[in-house]
Amino acid sequence: MDEPAIFETVEEEAVEFIKSTCALWSLAISYVYRDGKDRNSLWPPRVLSSLAALPRLHKLECQKLSAICLQDLPVGSFPALKELSTGYTGSTAVLASLLPGLSVLKLTLSESFKEGLGRIANLSALTYLDISFHEDSILSGHDLIALANGCPHLKTVTLPSTHVLMMEDPCPRGKDIDDTTIEAFASALPNLTTLTIGLENRSALTHCAILSLARHCPNLGYFHITADVFVPDLIEGLKEIGDAPLNSMTFMRFYLPEDIEHTYEDITVLAEQLVRKLAPGLLEFQIINGSESDEEFWQLADGLCVP
């Protein structure tokens, strides 16, 4: 369809379309205009109300929702919704009360996030959580642990999204997050398969966080982390856990603090131990930032990965 000047110009058509498609199961709308800009407009209330009344709508991908618009919807809205991917503004508390059956939640926050994950931990059916944070956002250790305890079926957790780390976009500021936080988080999520955790302070976590994940999350296969990882200590800790403690791991990326000065001996031996014995299924490995030793270890380990 031709792009509208603003969403409101097609509001009547949108409402009529939605009302005529009671069997609609999935809807994805993301306007990107010809000038390449994403206007990120909020959905008009009438359009949102019409969508909320659909009895079978299972999956919704849209540009932007707000807590204010959602809290005005009646109880019982979106009765079948399981997957939501959207830009978002306002408190996340309304999501848990309005959409208790969500299993997949992907949010791109359009304002600083300081209230914490809060009631998201009440979405007990969640299996997938992906949040991209606005700059100056805060992520607390208390919220991480509450999330793990409240959503025990989680398999994928990306805080923030992987592409955010790769593009060096803003990461949240960690509050009271350290290696013991990750120990409690990992022990509550034994089914975890994918984890991205990025903090503004890349020294908040160390290799001990990775050891906790190796002990408690045997199915973990895809992993990004900001941490001060000293490779010899990581290797020794993994060896103490047992044979192939990262047996399911296929992809690992470490984002180290800038200007770190690690120096390793026997780098070839360390790389062979990681790939041949500790993570034999590894397909890709990378270290971002770090020292010359880190970069040499990265190149050797990645070269040994399963083709």
Domain-located, residue 30? no
Q: Which domain holds residue 79?
A: 57-304
pLDDT at 6: 53
- The answer to whether position 11 is within a domain reads no
pLDDT tens-place string over residues 215-268: 999 999 999 999 999 999 999 999 999 999 999 999 999 999 988 899 999 999
The low-confidence residues of the chain, meaning pLDDT below 70, are 1-9, 30-41, 114-115, 118
- pLDDT of amino acid 1: 44
The pTM assigned to this predicted structure is 0.91
**Would residue 45 count as lying in a domain?**
no
Per residue in 101-136, pLDDT tens?
999 999 998 887 766 776 899 999 999 999 998 888
Nearest partner of 191 among 242, 223, 156, judged by Cα: 156
Rounded Cα distance, 81 and 70, in Å? 14
Is 35 part of a structural domain of the chain?
no
Q: Would you say residue 251 lies in a domain?
A: yes
Q: Is residue 25 included in any domain, yes or no? A: no
Return the CATH number at 149. 3.80.10.10
Classify residue 194: in a domain, yes or no.
Answer: yes
47 falls within a domain:
no
> CB of 293 within 8 A of CB of 262?
yes
Burial class (CB in 10 A: 0-12, 13-18, 19+), 178: middle
Distances, alpha carbon 115 to alpha carbons 15, 231, 253, 273, 304, in Å: 34, 35, 29, 43, 44
pLDDT at residue 5 in the model = 52
Number of domains in the chain: 1
Sheet containing 251-255, strands listed edge to edge, beginning at the edge strand earlier in sequence: 26-28, 59-66, 83-89, 104-109, 128-132, 156-159, 194-197, 222-226, 251-255, 284-288
